[in-house]
Amino acid sequence: MTNYDAIIIGAGQAGPSLAAKLVSNGKKVALIERKWLGGTCVNNGCTPTKTLIASAKAIYTAKRGSEFGFTIHSPVETDMKTVKRRKDEIVQKSSQGLQRWLSGLAGLDIIEGHATFLENKVIQVGNKHLSAPKIFINVGTRAQVPNEVQNIPYFTNSTIMDVDFVPEHLIILGGSYIGLEFAQMYSRFGSKVTVIESSPQLVSREDTDVSIELKTILEKEGIEFFLGAKCVQTFPNANGIKLELASNNGLTTLSGTHLLVAAGRLPNTHDLGLENTDIVLNKRGYIEVDDFLRTNVDGVWALGDVNAQGAFTHTAYNDFEIVADTLFQDTNKGTKNRIPCHALFTDPPLARIGITEKEALKTNRKLLMAHRPFSKIARARENGEENGFMKVIIDADTEQILGATILGLNGDEIIHGMLDLMYAKASYKVLLNAVHIHPTVSELIPTMLGELKPINFQKSSTVA
């Protein structure tokens, strides 16, 4: 048995930073990782997908050359081997940088292998037994693969990272954040793309008007959608795969060359040996935690996607900050102070903070709302990026922003001004009266705030 002050299982976004914080405070720490330092974000999530999206954007812009006044005297073709090589090089730089940083931390042992709990505070990795009074679980999630597709070849968000060719016809099972990013990306690379979504709308967590606008944008690029459709049966065929879909319109058969499964995530708690502990899971297999990420077992925390408190890199990093604060500063920083925020990195991006309009309507608050289409934003027109809109919801009594959505040019960046105002609990009038730089997209946020109206005057179809 090797004894440590702390054991961290998983080197995703929260794990390495927590390890550094612990050793800087004189603790002896073991960081256990079975596959990749950096977890999903560095290896098969944020870093590689945004690199691929950038390549797809460049290809798409080149194909629009005539709109901007230039001509390319040969067809724009995707060199997928070079696209993949560029992605791999950027991922490798991030991974190697993380490896160098962690390897230089005195007091930290990096242990490669799969961790299994033998009891609440005892971990086995291979033939090693480790123990510590403090254990931090940061094991993330994996793709959920329905039984109906397991008899045919398929990609997940992880395995599609190895693809160095353009699929002729890529079928994507799942019309939410992961599925739509890959849909647009591969459509721009040159694939025919079909998206199947079991819900009646895309990105079902968003308001209906957001879903409709996003679908319209992607359809303009040639992406095909089957909404309210469930895959009930699959078959291999000579050209690839065949799926049988069930919907309110009956059964439909769809054929393609390749399949990407983006139909949800599962927590990586299934093989941790948690049955040997007292740690409580919820009905979906995620680890239950309190506002400070503590499990029901004293001295055991769960950070990142595995605790179901947010499935994003930024929430995982904030989990680290909360735990570090609890251990070393005790200023009562917890998840209750965190404002929901996320983005879908399509082009244009979709960014949302706080609550949706449909969530706001379920409250008893007196509400104000404003809406601004990007077609009325000069900077968007100048860039040939007129798709989308922005909207904001205000508590009329407190004058505070409750939520905002931006689907449009640079929306993933400009929304942070409103998010910061929410954290400050300040009146929206601070932003309303601010002078912004012209010509920018951000300058239209004060303009939008000057057009607030009682939300009950808005068309209810936006959140139907």
- Write the pLDDT tens digit of every residue in 267-290: 999 999 999 999 999 999 999 999
Chain segment 379-412, per-residue pLDDT in tens: 999 999 999 999 999 999 999 999 999 999 999 9
With 90 as the cut, is the pLDDT of residue 68 above it?
A: yes
What is the predicted pLDDT for the residue at 228? 96
pLDDT at 43: 86
Strands 192-197 and 224-227 turn out to be: parallel
Q: Are 447 and 372 in contact (CB under 8 A)?
A: yes
Tell me the C-alpha distance between 351 and 177, whole Å. Answer: 11
Q: What is the pLDDT of residue 460?
A: 45
Cβ proximity of 162 and 152 under 8 Å: no
Domain boundaries, the chain: 2-142+266-337, 147-263, 341-454
Helix axes 46-63 and 80-103, enclosed angle (nearest 10):
150
- Position 431 scores a pLDDT of 97
Q: For residue 124, which of 111, 136, 138, 105 has the smallest C-alpha distance?
A: 111
Binned at pLDDT 50, 70 and 90, residue 184 comes out as very high
Pick among 3.90.1010.10, 3.30.390.30, 3.40.33.10, 3.30.70.20: CATH of 341-454: 3.30.390.30
Name the pairing type of β-strands 367-373 and 453-454: antiparallel
pLDDT at residue 462 is higher than 60: no
Strand-by-strand arrangement of the 128-131 sheet: 2-3, 128-131, 122-125, 115-119
Domain covering 2-142+266-337 in this structure, CATH number: 3.50.50.60
Average pLDDT, the chain: 94
Secondary structure of residue 432 in the 3-state scheme: helix
pTM summary value? 0.94
pLDDT at 463 over 70: no
Residue 332 in this model has a pLDDT that exceeds 50: yes
Residue 461 has pLDDT above 70, yes or no: no
> 2-142+266-337 and 341-454: same fold?
no
Residue 42's pLDDT is what?
86
Which residue would you say has higher pLDDT here, 396 or 40?
396
Q: Cα-flanking dihedrals φ and ψ of residue 102, to 5°?
A: -70, -35
Q: For residue 40, what pLDDT is reported? A: 82
Contacts of 410 (CB under 8 A, 6+ apart): 348, 349, 441
Share of the chain above pLDDT 90, in %: 92
| 250 φ/ψ sector (left φ>0, alpha ψ -120 to 50, else beta) | left
* CATH code, residues 147-263: 3.50.50.60
**pLDDT score of 368 more than 90:** yes
